[in-house]
């Protein structure tokens, strides 16, 4: 559009010189200038942020994330900007995972997909109808860059299961230009969000070869269950250690799906799986909570099974067997390091005073060993700050009542009380 505006203004200049009265030209020129302004003001993008600030103002896009430090959940949230995460498959799960990491302010995202956006994808979050026909990677970069310009986005529009695609995939994972000091590969985590066996095996192969930790995710064809899984080469089962019982052989698995039949999908199941996947990733990267080795989601019964899978010593994947051997060889060093850390932690614990000498929430820690202190602490915590009242009687009153002893009279009185209350209710 800018080119058109420039051309119009030039034409108006020429025309003005040939006219005796310049007034109509001035009017036209102001129209053009108005239009140029209107066309520019939308979309409004936010400017980049140099350093994450925890300042609590409406204009700070990171205030609610930096609050995780104040709340004691994460030690150093700012580290998120150093991390690179690769997401393979930008569909119903991968696109939402990418958006979540982008909104969390991840340092760098690598996106892999070869598909294009269709109207048939609109029953899942993320893509918009106006992006139909774009490649999923291009559409994702368009949306994500607008949401958070601080994230470095690299997109790879290709199929990682082809020979050339696989090579590009592994070499992109090895590229360390974003954070040259990093150990291992150039990425901190690979998330597999693909929908077929072949692609999962390709991610598995690359990660086994590179000794790269990754997480796998999946959603069932009937749209009502899913899972996430952590895979650490050599330490946990790889994808080939316990493969699906039945797989395609010799022919492309996509042609196995009969014409006119398609898998069901729901934005809910995919959103939950993406949320669990990125939550597990944040716990892994930022070192908080417990990273789940496997977490299932059965939405019909709201059942969330967990399990742990050790590597299969007869795994068909040669690279997996190599990683298993390395892991076993490193066991003595790992045990020694763990022991040293435990001893150091124990020493620090003795040296330290109370964890929170003073805290903002007026929470007092009760020492079990000192009965007197307990009583004092609990009675002082009964006094609520101004502006707060209790909706239910305090627990102490209940304890006092039962502390009277097992005397029958007291209990009968309670029953009488209850009966009276019930009668009063019925009468009301």
Could you tell me if 61 and 52 are in contact, meaning their C-beta atoms sit under 8 angstroms apart? no
Under the criterion CB under 8 A, does residue 11 sit at the interface with its own copies?
A: yes
Gap between the Cα atoms of 254 and 39, Å rounded: 44
Under the criterion CB under 8 A, does residue 378 sit at the interface with its own copies?
A: no
Name the segment binding its own copies (CB under 8 A); options: 81-89, 163-171, 367-375, 388-396. Answer: 388-396
Under the criterion CB under 8 A, does residue 147 sit at the interface with its own copies?
A: yes
Under the criterion CB under 8 A, does residue 399 sit at the interface with its own copies?
A: no
Under the criterion CB under 8 A, does residue 290 sit at the interface with its own copies?
A: yes
Closest separation in Å from C-beta 169 to its own copies: 23
Under the criterion CB under 8 A, does residue 276 sit at the interface with its own copies?
A: yes
Closest separation in Å from C-beta 140 to its own copies: 14
Binding mask 253-272 for its own copies (x = CB under 8 A): ---x-xxxxxxxxxxxx-xx
Residue 133: C-alpha distances to residues 116, 122, 128, 160 (Å)? 6, 13, 11, 21
The one catalytic residue in 41, 241, 262, 315 is 262
Peptide bond into 43 cis (omega under 30): yes
Under the criterion CB under 8 A, does residue 14 sit at the interface with its own copies?
A: yes
Name the segment binding its own copies (CB under 8 A); options: 166-174, 178-186, 248-256, 348-356. Answer: 248-256
Under the criterion CB under 8 A, does residue 141 sit at the interface with its own copies?
A: no
Q: Which of 163, 245, 355, 415 binds its own copies (CB under 8 A)?
A: 245
How many residues form the binding site for its own copies (CB under 8 A)? 123
Q: Residue for token digits 């005796």?
A: 20
Under the criterion CB under 8 A, does residue 381 sit at the interface with its own copies?
A: no
Q: Which of 95, 148, 159, 192 binds its own copies (CB under 8 A)?
A: 148
Gap between the Cα atoms of 317 and 209, Å rounded: 10
User: Quick check: is 262 catalytic?
Assistant: yes
Under the criterion CB under 8 A, does residue 165 sit at the interface with its own copies?
A: no
Closest separation in Å from C-beta 285 to its own copies: 12
Dihedral, 156, 158, 162, 168 alpha carbons, nearest 10 = -20
Gap between the Cα atoms of 299 and 269, Å rounded: 7
Output the CA torsion sign for 118, 119, 124, 126: positive
Which residues lie closer than 8 Å to 128 by C-beta, 6 or more apart?
139, 143
CA angle 185, 315, 87 (to 5 degrees): 35
Beta bridge partners of 79: none
Under the criterion CB under 8 A, does residue 145 sit at the interface with its own copies?
A: no
Question: Which sequence positions are flagged as catalytic?
Answer: 262
């Amino acid at each position: 559009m800018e080119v058109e505006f420039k051309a119009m203004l030039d034409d108006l200049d020429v025309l003005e010189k040939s006219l005796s009265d310049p007034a109509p030209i001035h009017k036209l020129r102001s129209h053009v200038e108005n239009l140029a302004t209107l066309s520019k003001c939308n979309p409004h993008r936010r400017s980049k942020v140099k350093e994450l600030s925890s300042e609590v103002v409406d204009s700070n896009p990171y205030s609610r994330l930096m609050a995780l430090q104040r709340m004691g959940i994460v030690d150093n949230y700012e580290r998120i900007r150093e991390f690179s995460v690769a997401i393979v498959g930008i569909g119903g799960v991968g696109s939402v995972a990418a958006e979540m990491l982008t909104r969390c302010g991840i340092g760098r995202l690598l996106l892999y997909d070869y598909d294009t956006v269709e109207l048939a994808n609109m029953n899942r979050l993320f893509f918009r109808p106006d992006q139909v026909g774009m490649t999923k990677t291009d559409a994702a970069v368009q949306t994500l860059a607008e949401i958070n310009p601080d994230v470095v986005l690299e997109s790879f529009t290709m199929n990682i299961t082809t020979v050339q695609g696989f090579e590009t995939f592994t070499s992109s994972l090895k590229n360390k230009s974003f954070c040259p000091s990093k150990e291992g590969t150039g990425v901190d985590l690979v998330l597999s969000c693909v929908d077929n066996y072949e692609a999962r095996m390709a991610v598995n192969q690359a990660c086994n070869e590179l000794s790269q930790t990754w997480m796998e995710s999946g959603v069932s064809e009937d749209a009502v269950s899913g899972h996430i899984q952590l895979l650490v080469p050599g330490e946990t089962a790889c994808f080939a250690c316990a493969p699906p019982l039945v797989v395609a052989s010799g022919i492309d698995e996509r042609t196995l799906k009969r014409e006119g039949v398609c898998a069901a999908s729901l934005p809910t199941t995919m959103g939950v799986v993406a949320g669990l996947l990125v939550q597990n990733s944040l716990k892994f990267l930022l070192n908080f909570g417990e990273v789940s080795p496997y977490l299932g989601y059965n939405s019909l019964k709201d059942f969330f099974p967990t399990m742990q899978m050790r590597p299969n010593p007869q795994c068909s994947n040669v690279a997996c067997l190599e990683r298993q051997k390395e892991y076993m060889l490193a066991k003595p060093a790992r045990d020694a390091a763990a022991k040293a850390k435990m001893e150091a932690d124990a020493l620090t614990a003795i040296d330290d005073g109370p964890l929170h000498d003073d805290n903002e929430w007026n929470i007092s820690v009760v020492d079990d060993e000192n009965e007197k202190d307990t009583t004092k602490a609990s009675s002082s915590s009964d006094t609520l700050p101004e502006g707060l009242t209790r909706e239910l009687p305090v627990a102490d009153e209940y304890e006092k009542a039962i502390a009277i002893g097992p005397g029958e009279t007291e209990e009968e009185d309670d029953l009488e009380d209850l009966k009276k209350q019930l009668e009063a209710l019925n009468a009301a």
